[in-house]
């Protein structure tokens, strides 16, 4: 249970420092209040524009705009003025959750919840003797190179088309979050609540 204690402390600190996407704070608290379950990382889904020095050079990449909600054509267009070096990508990414189940049986339940909530890229990311790390993930990924080294190669008409599509994909993927929450509420009834969670003073009253 030591690992869950550390994970909860880190989560509560992140929430109190506003470092967690607001629209999934309640869901994360719900998940972590379940006995035998905790999250290690998550993102509520986002749209943005990023510069990557080379293909696959993730650590050196730089977001020039990033939002967990739809962006406007004007915001996108404006942000492109900041492009300097590397390949410029527009990205849409669905919500993603890394969740530990403290037994293989709990891990399988988490996996089922992801799939039955419509997150079709849900997989087991790691298996150890007793714990299972599940990734709940959607399929709505868009990765569109827009230009290179500050030079944008697309028209306004096309940018608008891209932004509309990226926003539509983001909203589509986020629309599954309420179902995910319902399914975790059911899981909490089944597995029970975790005393440790309440002991550590979670940041929001409705879960205490």
Under the rule (CB under 8 A), what is the footprint of a copy of itself?
A: 55-56, 87, 104, 107-108, 111, 123-125, 127, 135, 139-145, 147-148, 153-155, 157-158, 161-162, 165, 168-169, 172
CB 165 to a copy of itself: min, Å? 5
CB 207 to a copy of itself: min, Å? 30
Nearer to a copy of itself, 50 or 169 (CB): 169
CB 108 to a copy of itself: min, Å? 7
Nearer to a copy of itself, 141 or 198 (CB): 141
Nearer to a copy of itself, 140 or 194 (CB): 140
Residue 205: Cβ within 10 Å count: 6
N- to C-terminal Cα distance for the chain? 20
Q: How many CA within 13 A on the CB side of residue 116?
A: 12
CB 22 to a copy of itself: min, Å? 26
Nearer to a copy of itself, 1 or 153 (CB): 153
């Amino acid at each position: 249970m030591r690992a869950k204690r550390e994970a909860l402390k880190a989560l509560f600190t992140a929430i109190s420092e506003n470092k967690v996407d607001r629209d999934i704070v309640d869901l994360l608290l719900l998940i972590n209040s379940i006995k035998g379950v905790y999250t290690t990382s998550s993102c509520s889904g986002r749209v943005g524009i990023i510069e990557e020095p080379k293909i696959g050079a993730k650590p050196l990449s730089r977001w020039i705009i990033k939002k967990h909600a739809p962006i406007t054509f004007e915001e996108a267009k404006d942000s492109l003025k900041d492009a300097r070096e590397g390949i410029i990508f527009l990205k849409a990414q669905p919500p993603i959750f890394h969740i530990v189940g403290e037994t293989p049986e709990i891990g399988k339940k988490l996996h089922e919840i992801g799939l039955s909530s419509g997150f079709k890229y849900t997989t087991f990311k790691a298996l150890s003797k007793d714990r299972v790390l599940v990734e709940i993930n959607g399929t709505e990924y868009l990765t569109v190179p827009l230009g290179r080294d500050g030079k944008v190669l697309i028209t306004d008409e096309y940018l608008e088309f891209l932004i509309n599509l990226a926003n539509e994909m983001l909203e589509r993927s986020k629309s599954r979050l309420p179902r995910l929450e319902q399914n975790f509420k059911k899981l909490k009834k089944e597995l029970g609540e975790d005393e440790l969670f309440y002991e550590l003073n979670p940041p929001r009253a409705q879960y205490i």
